[in-house]
Structure 1
């Protein structure tokens, strides 16, 4: 599973939620869903805006956590 670190990065950079909305132009609903891990994916344009505004890379924003229950045969 992939988890986002948006809340952590915002905290480290001391950026408030409403500030990232203004910096990126991303809708409150979209950012809320990303922030709270309520999304199944993210558009590249959204990712680009976040990385630019936060001066980070996609690798900084997301962490891969292997799902021990997934069927490994699906990926072979």
Structure 2
């Protein structure tokens, strides 16, 4: 399973969740909040690209692989 590391990256860079929302161009705070807290099943490529641009990180930085719960 993959997990987005958005909150960790924000902490590492010294930014707030509000800062990212305002700079990401996302229109829905509800969708944004679900995304950063891992309550979403999908994400658009353009959203990923914009978040990586705003956070100055790569896709490799953005994802964390978690062990399967069946293991």
TM-score range for the pair, normalised by the shorter chain length: 0.7 to 0.9
Q: TM-score, normalized by length of structure 1?
A: 0.82
Tell me what 1:42 maps to: 43
Structure 2: unaligned runs, 5 residues or longer: none
Give 3-state SS (helix, strand or coil) of 2:70's partner: coil
Structure 1: unaligned runs, 5 residues or longer: 71-76
Structure number with greater Rg is 1
State how many pairs are aligned. 70
Q: TM-score, normalized by length of structure 2?
A: 0.87
Cα gap change, 1:68/1:38 in structure 2, threshold over 3 Å: closer, same or farther? closer
What's the Cα RMSD here?
A: 1.4
Tell me what 2:53 maps to: 52
